[in-house]
Structures are given as structure tokens and as C-alpha cells.
Amino acid sequence: MIRVLSLLVLILSFVRAVPAESREVKKKPASRAIPTNYFVKKEEKNFSLLMEARRFGRGEVIFLRLTPKDKKWINESYKVSWLGKDVILTKKEKSMIAFLPVSPDTPAGAMTLEIVSKIFFVKRGQKQYQIILEPTKFQVIKKNQQIKVDEKFVTKELPKETLDFIQECKTAKEAAFAKQSQLQFINNFKNPLDKIFITSKFYVRRDYNNKQGRPHGGVDFRGKTGTPIFAIQDGIVVLARKTYYEGNFTIVDHGNKIFSFYMHQDEIKVKVGDVVKQGQEIGTVGSTGMSTGPHLHLGAKVNDTLVDPLSLIALQSISESH
């Protein structure tokens, strides 16, 4: 069944948004209706364009596929920019794919996708498309529901040794997220735990010990200490160590500046440089670092932008061939 997505406007063209089954993580498995993703499909003279997203909103990731009408054009030079920033294109079979992040802090209005190609656009050499950002309201935890943590995580009055360790951790994390590699995967993302129950959503704003905290940079999953944690996608481990705030912390590089990260683990079961496969156990649920109880904090970054990891897990078109 096809429905028109009124929030999407493509310049100089008509586009349909087609819902499809999504693997969006829910608090309870599946007796409920399966949610739908949105698809933007466009047939140009020289290529077809597909865009898929759980929704076109803040904090989401949009999957892009460009397919030339002529097979030999796959080896031509193309440039794609998203919100004014170049994105990494990867050839996959007869198409080129990319992942477009939307920052949770993106202001309301039109988001611009630009494709530059002398083959696709013979006269002008480029074309722009606009997508209207869907309104997104992130949850705000009321003051009477504030979280109590160890005071050492919210005070600025810390020993020099501790401050030096915090800086060391920050430097290590920045170095890990600066890694660049080719795309490591060909399949859709999967859940990090066998049983899924979400206890805190992405970008929730909350207070800690009567002090305002930063928005929640990931999604929290309930789990008992020792519960296996699985890699949500193929990749290379670029960080696996104890850190001050995140506790036992692992970052996996999936290529093309796409990273997933796993916080508060009881045990880390990989080391830097390990090549991991989707579904491989990389650690166990714990309560290390700035944590109030056993859980997994799962986060994701795409092209240096913090995004909701569930928006990656929801994508269905990555595995599909043209």
C-alpha cells in the first residue's frame, strides 16, 4: 500500500514515499504491528535514486542508493554532498550507496542533497534535492525524576590524577573516531542483545544530582550483568578499554566513518585491531563507569555526527541488490 509523504519535497520533481517493513527495535517483540520506514524513489533520465529512513527527522540516518541507467557509468566520477558536507560513496554491485546523518541539533527547515555528475546532468553538471525535516521532540526527564549517580561524575573538583585520566580517555576516543576505512559490511544492521527492552531513548535530556546533564548520546537496553553483547555490524575494533565515564568501552569501525560504541560493559571480549563479524560476542552487560545499574548503552556516529543507533538498525535496503 502506497501513501504520499507530504513532508518530502524534491525540487523540480515529484516523489512518492513508500512504507516498507522496518526492523526498528521495540520494547517488546512482535505481537504488535510492525512499524514502517519511508522510501523516496525517483527515476531520472540517467539514474534512479532511492532514499530510505525510519523517518526523515533529527538524529536519524538516511540510506541512499544511486543506480546509473547505463552499467558502464558506475565507474564515472560522482560527488554527493549532504547538508553542505561531502559524503562517502561506495560502489555496490550496479549502484553507489551512502549513509546520510541528520544531527539531533539540526534546525527546522529543508535539508539539501546535491549530486554532481557530468554524466547524470549533461547541461548543468549538478542537481539539488530538498527534503523537509520532520518535527522531532526529544524526551525531557522532569526534575523530580532526576538520576542519582556517584558525585565524582558530576563535580569539577577532582584530583589531578583523575583529571589526567579523563583527558587520556578523551584523547583515545577522539583518535578512535578519527579512523578511516573502507565500508566493512554488506548486510543490514542487527540488535546488540538477544532480548530487547529499551530503558532510555536517544537524546533524552535529564538531570544528574540536581545538575543539568548533556542529552543522552545513545540508547540504553536493560540487561543482567554478564549478558552477552553482540556487534551490530561487521567491523574493526578501534577502542577497547576502561574509561572514566563510559566504563568498559568498545568502539567498532564499520567503514565510511560509521561507528558503533558499547558502554558500561562488565567485561570486554575483544581488543584493538580485532576484525569482528555481525552477531559476534564482543562483551557483556555491566554497570561500569557513570552508571546506576546493569545495562548496555549503545551509540552510533556517522560522518562525525551522533545519531540514534536504532535508525541504523531499522534500515532494510542495505542487503538488497539492485
Residues of the chain with CATH 2.70.70.10: 151-314
Question: Any idea what DSSP says for residue 34?
Answer: P
Catalytic residue set: 295
Q: Where in the chain is the domain with CATH 2.60.40?
A: 12-17+34-132
pLDDT at 214: 73
The residue to which cell 522532569 is assigned: 142
pLDDT on residue 287:
95
Nearest to 251 by CA among 231, 267, 266: 231
Nearest to 289 by CA among 267, 265, 270, 271: 265
**Over the stretch 240-259, which tens digit does the pLDDT of each residue have?**
999 999 999 999 999 999 99
C-alpha cell at 30: 512482535
- CATH 2.70.70.10 correct for 151-314: yes
What CATH number labels 12-17+34-132?
Answer: 2.60.40
Cβ neighbours of 73 (radius 10 Å): 16
pLDDT digits (tens, 9 = 90+) for 208-244: 545 556 788 899 999 999 999 999 999 999 999 999 9
pLDDT value of residue 78: 93
Helices (H), the chain: 160-177, 309-313
Low-confidence ranges of the chain (pLDDT < 70): 1-35, 140-155, 206-213, 321-322
Cβ count within 10 A of residue 241: 17
State residue 213's pLDDT score: 60
